[in-house]
Amino acid sequence: MALMGTSTFAFSVVRDPVDQFESLYNYMGLRSTYKTDLKGFVRMLRNNQSVIDHKPRGGMGRFGRNQIAFDWGVSPKLFNKDPEIIRERIEQLDDQFELVLIAERMEESLVLLADRLCWPLEYVTHLDLNVRKPERTVQLEEDERQILGNWLNFDTSIYEYFSRRFDDHVARFNTVAGQPDRMEEQVRLLRQSNLQLQERCVIQRVGNEKLRGKFLETHNDTFGYLIQP
């Protein structure tokens, strides 16, 4: 941010920390770092968290605990600080962003983004890319998610904080021009635009292993698209 001017529109996106870590564990091969699958990793957290905390981050130090916070420049030294210190750091992060999108509410997020940037919905019409195949996703039990979420404490706090801020943004969006269902209508229009794009451009959604050339994704666990010539 130090390189940007004060008028720069800065935004980011957050995802449920447990789901993000599950994806990260698979996608970045953290099994080789922690020498166990994700279920085994959670068992290690349950039995002796200090063993995990003293292991280095994977991917030459780039991937691991509290990935959202780490990517936003938060030092791992803050990960075990008191909740009040964590909240103060999150409020500092909030000052850096005009808008933080929520991955689980992406359609609403893109509507807000388009509105803030004075874009037509056409500019955020899209196809979902890099979607994992269901069979490649590890299904965690509720107690396992709780253990992992507690360990991902900083990211969990970030996600909860910006989810509340997002609700505020949506409420404000709906009060403009006295249209309480404004967001609902804009999401409907975006979905309609996305469907038209898919009908116009896509032959079929297929596994990445069936794609070639510029349409090939980076990981065979994901879906891609056969596109109309």
The rounded distance, in Å, linking the Cα atoms of 12 and 98 is: 9
212 dihedral zone (left: phi>0; alpha: psi -120 to 50; beta): beta
Number of domains within the chain: 1
The residues facing 224 across adjacent strands are 206
The rounded distance, in Å, linking the Cα atoms of 225 and 147 is: 36
Q: Over the stretch 20-29, which tens digit does the pLDDT of each residue have?
A: 999 999 888 8
pTM, to two decimals: 0.90
Percentage of the chain modeled with pLDDT above 90 = 66
Q: What is the mean pLDDT of residues 155-178?
A: 94
Q: Which domain holds residue 175?
A: 11-200
In-domain check, residue 211: no
For the stretch 67-72, contacts whose Cβ atoms lie closer than 8 Å and that sit 24 or more positions apart, written own/partner, are 67/17, 67/20, 67/21, 67/24, 67/155, 68/14, 68/15, 68/17, 68/20, 68/154, 68/155, 68/158, 68/159, 69/154, 69/155, 69/158, 72/12, 72/158
In-domain check, residue 19: yes
Note the pLDDT of residue 215. Answer: 65
Q: Over the stretch 29-61, which tens digit does the pLDDT of each residue have?
A: 888 888 999 999 999 999 988 777 777 777 767
Note the pLDDT of residue 18. Answer: 98
